[in-house]
Every structure is written in structure tokens, then in C-alpha cells.
Amino acid sequence: MSMFISPRGIHRYRATHAALSIPVISSLSGTPRDEDLGAFTMTVTGTGFIPTSVVQWDGSARATTYVSPTSLTAAILSGDVDDAGTFAVTVNNPGAGVSNSSTFTVDAAAAGDPYFANVVSLLHADGHLTTTFTDVIAGKTWTPGASPYNTNAESKFGGTSILYNSAATDGLINSNAHADFAMGAGDWTIELWWRTPAAFPGTLGFLFDFRTGAAGNHPTLYYDNASGLQYYAAGAGRISAGSTLSTSTWYHIAVCKASGSTRIFAAGTQVGSTYTDGIDYNETTPRVRLNGNGNGTGGLGATGYMDDWRVTKGVARYTGSFTPPTTEHPDS
């Protein structure tokens, strides 16, 4: 017995059949994507999508917005892209089935410094043995005295470091005068790797001094055998960290001003008290002196090795305990 189906019935049959068809994915937006970039909206392009279609990330449903029969958007969670890898994206049409699987790639984030635009000085001390010290940041030049040089006797990164020699009559390194070294009233971070040899000097030794002379306000860090690391600014000692450094050990040392509070960190741990710092480090174009007293011709240099010097202006990188860098500071 034959059955007659009216034109209206044929139309309903076709609509129902289309609604229950299995969707097909042709492409995904935003792939590949770096890990740790956070949540984002992904566009899925294909055919056979319906208002109840659901995008699935590795089999788990994600909030989906129907745009058209050929386009959906899905809210991908930050946790979905925390780790590098490949992930399956599918579309489920309830009552019909699941689409083909399309691969979304999450790449390992490129190594880099998110605050690199704020870095005003970066000395790696890498390369061959030399008395020339090259700053990664343009506009900064460093002129050594008689003794400092790159040495392969010790290094934290790159095979060489800068030797600090307090015994030399002119064992210092001067930068050119530059407005970038005027740290102002905002946040900043000054950091380096430091290794003291077998014995501390009996007198104080300057690691860095931003003073061009007696006038102005400048961040300065030195140490001595009795009182350890000392932060000096605006004509007075501000932080005394005590004898915290062991000899023959590389330390990441940082001085960081954050929201009016200045701290010293050694090996990722705060040493000494927090200084309530309302100082405007206001000299217009100061010069930085490494391994010497900036107020005068020099002298009072430290004895040891320095590696990976970095100055970041406008950013407080460290406000509490942290893990020191395991690689040299990025150049980008």
C-alpha cells in the first residue's frame, strides 16, 4: 500500500532531518595560541549547526552561542590553556550526534620579560674576556676603570662575569649620565647576581651607587663585614640587612620600591626591615657607578663577581618572597 505525503509534510520532514544532522567543523579561530594567555572566545566554523549545538573542549561542554548554521562561538576557560598541548574540539547536536574532531594547539609561551619595555639597563657580562661592557638597552655606555673586566673564573650565566676588585685604585665602572637613571617617586627594581669570594672585606664595599655627587637623592647599595647589605638614600642609611651573605655563593640581590615601600631581597627572601620610602629620586640625569662610591672619584669598591645587572623603572617586580630567576634576564 502506498502512502501519500503532502508538500507540507515533505517540508516538515526535511526541516526535522536538517535539525538532526551531524555537524561538521571546518576551522577554528585562534589556533595556535600561547599558554597562560587566559580565557578567550573561540569561533567554530562549519556546517549543520543549530541553536542547541554545544562546543566541547576535549569532551567537556563549554558555554556556546549560536551565530548561524555555519558559525558558533564558545567561551574557552583560562584553565583550558594553562598548559601546552593539542586539544580536541567537537560540536554536539543533541539528538543527532557529535561532529568530526578538530585539533586546537596550545604552544608553550615564548620566553620573554613582560616588563621589558620598562627595563632601562641590562648588563649580561657574557662573552669573551674583555674590559668592554655592553648594555642591551640603547643609550647606555659603561666605562671601566683600571681593573674591572669580564672573567671566566666565576659566572652565574653565560660563562663570564664582571670582576669587582676593591684593591684597584680605580676599580669602578661608570655609566654615562642619563635621564633613565632618575628613578623618580614611583616604583622601580634594581637587581643583580653577586658572589663574594672567600672573605668579606673589612671596610664597606659599594655594589652600586646612583650618585653623581653629594647633591640629589639616589639609591645606593653596599655591604661590609659587620653589617651586611646596607641600603643608603638621601643622606642616610635606610635599611640594614645584617650579615646575610655566605662567601663563595651566588646570590640574586634586588632592591625594590613598591608603592612607597623599599625592600632588599637576597636569594628571593626579604632581608632587613621595610623602609617607608617617600623619597623622590629626583636628580635629572644621574650616572650609575658600579663597584665604587659615587660621591667623588670612586674608592670603597667591593670584592667579588657581578652578573646579570638589570634596572627596571616604573615596575616593582618583587614585593614578597619569590624564586630567583633560573636563566639570565630576557632581552625581549
Q: Which residues constitute the domain of residue 190?
A: 116-313
Decide if 123 is inside a domain: yes
pLDDT tens, residue by residue, 176-228: 999 999 999 999 999 999 998 766 555 678 889 987 766 678 899 988 777 88
User: Quick one: 88 and 129 in the same domain?
Assistant: no
Decide if 321 is inside a domain: no
Decide if 273 is inside a domain: yes
User: Quick one: 100 and 120 in the same domain?
Assistant: no
User: Quick one: 262 and 168 in the same domain?
Assistant: yes
Decide if 151 is inside a domain: yes
pLDDT tens, residue by residue, 273-327: 999 999 999 888 888 988 877 777 666 777 888 899 999 999 999 999 988 988 8
Taking the whole predicted model, whether its pTM rises above 0.75 is answered as no
User: Quick one: 195 and 256 in the same domain?
Assistant: yes
Which residue, 107, 133, 166, sits at the end of a domain? 107
User: Quick one: 103 and 123 in the same domain?
Assistant: no
User: Quick one: 247 and 297 in the same domain?
Assistant: yes
User: Quick one: 88 and 153 in the same domain?
Assistant: no
User: Quick one: 92 and 133 in the same domain?
Assistant: no
pLDDT tens, residue by residue, 33-44: 766 667 888 889
Decide if 271 is inside a domain: yes
Total structural domains in the chain?
Answer: 2
**What's the CATH code of the domain at 98?**
2.60.40.10
* Contacts within 8 Å (CB) and 24+ apart, 85-88: 87/57, 87/58, 88/57, 88/58, 88/59
Decide if 320 is inside a domain: no
**What's the CATH code of the domain at 268?**
2.60.120.200
Decide if 322 is inside a domain: no
